[in-house]
Structure 1
Amino acid sequence: MSYQRASRTLWWLLGVAVLVSVVHYVDNYVNYRDYPVPGPDAPVPAPSATLIAVAWFVFTASGGLGAMLWLRRRITGASIALAGYSVSGLIGVAHYTAPGAFDMVWWRQAHVVVDIGCGIGVLLFALWAARNATALSRPATQRVA
């Protein structure tokens, strides 16, 4: 896949991921009490609403850094930052470690699951880009046929 085609894929993937994460994180913050919490024996306590809000900004900054590095053809750095951003979606799996998670309303289930899917997509893209960093880093005029 060429850098240009990969770029289109990345912009589409990041656009969807950021949009879905806004819905998920805002709902999680605003309706914090409607989300199930881990039981008393859970190895990790539930994060506070404030931590959830701050985490969205930190994760999204990592995605922004990945996009900036991608544009500069710093593919390895972009891949690392994008992998960091993917955690924004992947961490949604933690919802399903709490009792009652499958009882959430359907639309909440939908945005949590789609956010997890976006995290998987961004992570897979980052891994693919890291594996192809040498070819993607070179401008098209320098590529060997």
Structure 2
Amino acid sequence: MSYLRATRVLCWLLGIAVLVSVVHYVDNYVNYDDYPVPGPDAAVPAPSATLVAVGWFVFTAFGAAGLLLWFRRHITSAAIALTGYSLSGLIGIGHYLVPGATGMVWWRQAHVVLDIVCGAAVFGFALWAAKNSDELIPPGAKPPAKPPARPSA
């Protein structure tokens, strides 16, 4: 896949992921008490509503940084930042580690699952980009190769 086509895929992917995450995180913040929480003896306590809200901004900053780095053709750095952003969706798996999560209303299930799927898709894209970074950087943007060393006389 060319850099231009990959850029289109990334823009669409991030656009959809951000939109879905807005719905999920706003619902999680506004309707915090409607989400199941771990019991008192759980290994990891539930995050507060404030942490959920702040988390969205932190994760989304990673996505924005990833996109900026991508446009600057720093593909590997972009892949790292995009991996950070992918956690925004993947962390939704935590909802299903709590008893009662499958009892949430269907539309809440839908946006939580969509957010997880978007996180997995962004993570997959980041892995693909990191693996193919050499092909995604045009020859003019690569640093010049060092000439072979001359043998000493």
TM-score range, shorter chain: over 0.9
TM superposition shift of 1:85? 0.1
Q: Deviations over 1:15-61 (max 9, x none)?
A: 00000000000000000000000122211000000000000000000
Which letter maps to 1:100?
G
Aligned length: 142
> In structure 2, what is the Cα distance between the partners aligned to 1:137 and 1:46?
42
1:98 matched to 2:98? The reply is: yes
> In structure 2, what is the Cα distance between the partners aligned to 1:62 and 1:97?
25
- Which is higher, the Rg of structure 1 or of structure 2? 2
Q: TM-score, normalised on structure 1?
A: 0.95
> In structure 1, what is the Cα distance between the partners aligned to 2:127 and 2:140?
21
> In structure 1, what is the Cα distance between the partners aligned to 2:105 and 2:60?
26
Q: Percent identity?
A: 71
> In structure 1, what is the Cα distance between the partners aligned to 2:48 and 2:137?
40
TM superposition shift of 1:135? 1.2
> In structure 1, what is the Cα distance between the partners aligned to 2:23 and 2:141?
41
Partner of 1:36: 36
Q: Which runs of 4+ in 1 moved over 4 A?
A: 139-142
Partner of 2:129: 129
TM superposition shift of 1:66? 0.1
Partner of 2:23: 23
Partner of 1:120: 120
> In structure 2, what is the Cα distance between the partners aligned to 1:30 and 1:47?
14
Partner of 1:85: 85
Q: TM-score, normalised on structure 2?
A: 0.90
* Worse-matched range after superposition: 24-33 or 130-139: 130-139
Unpaired runs of 5+ residues, structure 1, are none
Larger helix share, 1 or 2 = 1
TM superposition shift of 1:139? 5.1
Which letter maps to 1:73?
R
Unpaired runs of 5+ residues, structure 2, are 143-153
Which letter maps to 2:10?
L
Please give the residue correspondences for 1:61-72 in structure 2 after superposition, counting only pairs within 5 Å.
Answer: 61-72=61-72
Partner of 2:147: none
TM superposition shift of 1:141? 9.2
